[in-house]
Structure 1
Amino acid sequence: MTKRDINLHGLQTRVACIVLAISLLFAVGTTLTQMYINYQRALTTTTQLVENRSQNATRVISHALWVVDLELVRQSVKGLSMIPTVCRVAVKGFDGTHITEVNHNGEGCDGNQQSLLTVQDNNIGTLNIVIDRSEVKREALSSALPVATVHFVETLTITLLILWILNRLCSRPLKQLSSALDYYQADKANQTSVPIQLIQRNDEIGNVSRSINAMQSRIRDDLLQKRSTERELRQHQTLLEEQVEQRTKALNWQSNASSLLADISIQFLRADSQHITEDVELIFPKMASLLGVEAIGWYAFDAYRAKRRCYWPTDVEFAPETVDLSDMHMIKRWLADIDTLVVPHVGQLGDDAINERSWLRQRHILSFAAFPLTDGRKSFGMITVANRQLPFIWDNSKTLLLKRFATAISEVMIRERNHFAMEELQEELIIANEKLKVQAETDDLTRLSTRRPFKRELKNHIYDGIESGLPVAVMMIDIDHFKAYNDEYGHLQGDEVLTKIARVLLTQTEAYQGSVARFGGEEFAITLPTQYASQLNTLADGIRDDIAELALTHVKNPDGDVITVSIGGIVTYPSNETSDSYLLEMADQRLYQAKEEGRDRINILDQREEK
């Protein structure tokens, strides 16, 4: 039995007790009222009966007492005392006669009725009758007991009837309603817990049943709404969790991509252009992992041919060394537009890319993407990614990542190309500078050095002599009467003579690793390294002899009919105060002395003995 049953039972008990109490009160009141009425009625009847009897007996007793018939008096008194409600009867005559008859004595003998005995208007005595009121009460109670019993039975019957009616009309429906509520499950949307017969009633229980049914309907509706809301919330929560997870993955991916691009930028900035391919090969596995592709490659363009620079993985067989792009019109249009090319599935390629589709299918490539390497004007390479097993799962983030990666490699290639161009330009500049230097420091006619490189070489010989303690040697050579030769034979012929003499000087000097220079006009200079400086005289003799062997005709030479030279020089140990100008001046002085002595002479100052 549930608590609700107990409550209902308690309610029924309370109603029954109240009804019973009211009925009992009513019955008791009715009985008491009836007893009181019966008592008053019995008392009145008894009093009247006694009065009537006493009136009749009074006449008899008065006559008997008048005639002094005491036996008759006693019999009359005894007759009166036989009345049940009379306690005693006493007759007192004024003549002293006293006759008393006692029926019984009790506490209820309190009703005294006295009558005067007269005969012929003569008072002869008194008749005193004592009535037993308790007996009257007992008689009234005895007469009221059946009525009270009837009233109690009636009250009990009415109470039971009321209880039956109450149980029938109220308690039982309430118990049904309670049981229905006990077994009500709000989560069953189609369940009707309140019995239909209760709902169809037109009384208060019907109103309550309909209210409960409506409340249950609202509860079901609220529960359904709550479940719908909870389901929507769970769906939103699941969606939110998925979005958070996707966003977290995207942020992690972006973080990894940014970190990789930062490492790439730093690595490319530090990289040597000669090892850039190896650096890119190290980056490819990480880039392929981020993009979720099976292969990634780097190609450089050469006209309409793409040459592979590096590829990952290295053991792939579908990445040829060279790809001919001449018949791939879509690729060429793509290169002209300098745009990204993403093919999630080769089957999506149209009729304008038949060659490309055939080429990809021959290598069993399912998805393909290419990103140009460009300097902003034209493409000079591309980064490619490919899948064979599954089609691409591609988005803008991956496109942006590969674009930035392609931009980084483009900058590297531009830097590499600029580096190569700079190296070529530097080499060209060096060659040009060397040529200019040679041109600037070489005599155009004789191809001998000019004064500046000669003096630089002479300074080196001085420094070497100071460090080694060996002598340094300088020689000056001048063609005798060369102005007269030019006047006679012309400048072209004079240039020919200068060239031949320069060749003799070079030939002789090469054996001594010396330097020869044309100082201007018909004047030449020679300097020898310190290890050969002591052989300056030998060199001078050889030069003079070789020029004589040339036998170059010079009719204006007053000292002979051939070209001759005058030679002046110096051999000395250099010191810190020795300068190239000093040595050249000393050699020139010796040359002047040779000319003064008659030309075709050798005049060399040897200062080694002085030291």
Structure 2
Amino acid sequence: MNTEDLLSILYQMPASILFKKVGEESVYASEGFVELFSLPGNLAEKPLAVSFSTIDFKVKLATNQSPFELCRKGEKVTDWFGIEIDHYTLSCFVQSKKIATPEGTWLVLLVNTDSHQKAEINSTDAHVNKHITFNQLLSQFSSKLINADVHELDDIIDQSLAAFGEFCNVDRCYLFEFSDDETYMSNTHEWVAPEVPPFIDELQNLPTQNMPFFMSHISNGIFKVDNVASIPDVAASERVLFQGQRIFSMLCVRIMAGGKRYGFIGCDIIGHPYSWKPHDVEYLTRIGEMLGNTLQNLYNRKSLQKMHIELLSANKQLERLANIDGLTGIANRRLFDSTLAADLVRCREFEQPISLMLIDVDYFKLYNDSHGHVAGDNVLKKLADTLVLTCLGNDDLVARYGGEEFAIILPNTSCDALESIAQRILGSVESLAIYHRASPFQQKLTVSIGMVCLNNVPSGDGDRSGDPVSATRLVDSADKALYRAKQNGRNCAEF
């Protein structure tokens, strides 16, 4: 048997082997190895560029440490190695055999990806220990997620994906979220192993209609592919998408939240196919359930928060409607009464002055009769805006007291300041130049003002009822001052 015949036999071996002739550098692979490694067909029966590393691919082995060299020296190889061929990587359990033939000595490596895993699964202690470790990991993150607020959630999800990815020795772990109508999906969280390229930025707003094969599976709960190359041709575009990310094996589990499909959690193996084990599916499913429960709680909390905000808004709106005059948009009589009572108590406590104005539109009934009630309403709106702009104090309150009458509360305002403000109001109203054909003041609309000021209200001041400072008495005093202003010819202010 010559070398070509021997090579032909070794090529056709169903077992996964690498082989080379002592004294030569060329390394060849059997059909079984090409299939296991999912190598392109054009690499079959051709010398391969093979390198070896530690199982985690972190340290590349020197030539004298490779399994071929160890076999050549007569050492029996039974260990795990990382194998890289043309950018394809695979963690393999390697056994060696030296074969002597008339044509020379051959070094043969039997490569297997399952030997170690089967040994581990068959080991009861190892399986139990791994299960206990995973439960501890799951419990740790469940506690974090239960107590997390919205701002902490992203970090904890990232930590969960990283812990799961490292624990299960996968290359990429991620979370996808569907749009409300499930027409799009986006990668919201991603963890990748060292030297594995991230894809999160490229996987945003992907149309789900472009992935019918994937969606048909994930909609039913799980998408499990041991070898992406085995995806049928009807889903060729999806297969190409996965292969473009160097994905060889995928496992994805649906996540439910709020009674609907929220998205899915998934993990990938890069560089080589992998047969997903029952515990892989179990662990990922439990992580997905944990995230689903958390997202459900978050959904419930958001719903309650939204209802609370809407209720507060409704209450504020009701309070506003109850305290705001519908025509002018300023405070109404109800808010005026409560504010005056509170301001009197406060000014008494700090012994500060407090002032009050009552303002009446001169000859307003004649204005309505002459110009119409719509015009009268517009006048009241303009006057309300003018009064608000004229009284600039932070604590001042301008209110519609009733009909064509307005009231202004001015806490911590002295008599001199009050009189100055009153004159400013008279000037501002006159500058509006509102035409009033029945007015004796150059046919312009004017107002009359009644003023009252309590300077440095002492704590002992009060009336017979025992009220320290009577709001009724203050309003009555302002009303009498307003009456005097009208008696004195209107368009003026009186104390």
Q: Same fold (TM over 0.5)?
A: yes
Q: Distance in 2 between matches of 1:440 and 1:319?
A: 56
Q: What secondary structure does 1:571 align onto? A: strand
Q: Report which structure shows greater RCO (CA 8 Å, sep ≥6).
A: 2
Is residue 316 of structure 1 aligned with residue 196 of structure 2? yes
Q: What percentage of residue pairs aligned between the two structures are identical?
A: 26
Partner of 1:589, secondary structure, is helix
Equivalent of 2:476, from 564, 585, 588?
585
> Paired residue for 1:403?
285
AA aligned opposite 1:490: G
Identify the residue that residue 494 of structure 2 maps to in structure 1: 603
1:514 to 386, 396, 400: 396
Contact 1:446 1:499 in 2 (8 A): yes
Query: In the alignment, which of 347, 350, 361 is matched to residue 229 of structure 2?
Result: 347
8 Å Cα contact 1:568-1:603 kept in structure 2: yes
Task: Please give the alpha-carbon distance, in whole angstroms, between the structure 1 residues aligned to 2:336 and 2:220.
Answer: 59
CA positional deviation for 1:357: 1.8
Q: Which residue of 169, 176, 180 maps to 1:299?
A: 176
The correspondence of residues 143-542 of structure 1 with structure 2, limited to 5 A, is 246-302=123-179, 303-313=183-193, 315-317=195-197, 319-323=199-203, 324=206, 325-335=208-218, 337-375=219-257, 377-417=259-299, 419=301, 434-459=316-341, 461-510=343-392, 514-531=396-413, 534-542=416-424
Q: Distance in 2 between matches of 1:347 and 1:579?
A: 90
Q: What displacement does 1:588 show? A: 2.4
Cα separation, 2, equivalents of 1:554 and 1:453 = 31
Q: Which amino acid in the other structure matches residue 469 of structure 2?
A: T
Q: Runs of 5+ in structure 2 lacking a partner? A: 1-118, 460-467
Aligned partner letter, 1:300: E
Task: From the CA coordinates, give the structure whose radius of gyration is larger.
Answer: 1
Distance 1:602 1:318 in 2: 77
> Structure 1 residues 450, 314: closer, same or farther in 2, change over 3 A?
farther
- Per the normalisation by structure 1, the TM-score is 0.53
Residues 73-107 of structure 1: per-residue CA shift (max 9 Å, x gap): xxxxxxxxxxxxxxxxxxxxxxxxxxxxxxxxxxx
Partner of 1:26: none
Structural RMSD (CA): 3.3
Tell me what 1:594 maps to: 485
- Answer whether contact 2:176 2:185 (CA < 8 A) is retained: no
Deviation larger for 396-405 or 430-439: 430-439
Residues 355 and 452, structure 2, Cα contact 8 Å, conserved in 1: yes
Q: Deviations over 1:364-390 (max 9, x none)?
A: 222111112222754332211111255
- For normalisation by structure 2, the TM-score amounts to 0.64
Q: Which amino acid aligns with 1:569?
A: M
SS in 2 for 1:366: strand
**1: CA distance, partners of 2:414 / 2:209:** 68
- In the alignment, the residues of structure 2 paired with residue 500 and residue 286 of structure 1 have an alpha-carbon distance, to the nearest angstrom, of 67
Give the deviation of 1:583 after TM superposition: 2.6
3-state DSSP class of the match of 1:269? Answer: helix
CA contact (8 A) 2:174 2:265 kept: yes
Contact 1:338 1:378 in 2 (8 A): no
Alignment of 1:117-156 (within 5 A): none
Please give the secondary structure, in 2, of the residue aligned with 1:510: coil
Q: Give the counterpart letter for 1:483 in structure 2.
A: K
Q: Is the 8 A contact 1:301 1:307 kept in 2?
A: no
**Secondary structure, counterpart of 2:276 in structure 1:** coil
Q: Is the 8 A contact 2:390 2:424 kept in 1?
A: yes
| Structure having the larger proportion of residues in helix | 1
Write out per-residue CA displacement over residues 325-346 of structure 1, whole angstroms, 9 at most, x where no aligned residue.
Answer: 44222122234x2411111122
Letter in 1 for 2:451: G
| Contact 1:308-1:322 within 8 A present in 2 as well | no
- The one-letter amino acid of 1:508's match is T
555-564 vs 523-532, which moves further: 555-564
Aligned length: 362
CA positional deviation for 1:274: 1.4
The CA distance in 2 between the partners of 1:419 and 1:301, in whole Å, is: 20
Change (3 A) 1:529 1:494: same
Change (3 A) 1:570 1:531: closer
1:330 alignment partner AA: F
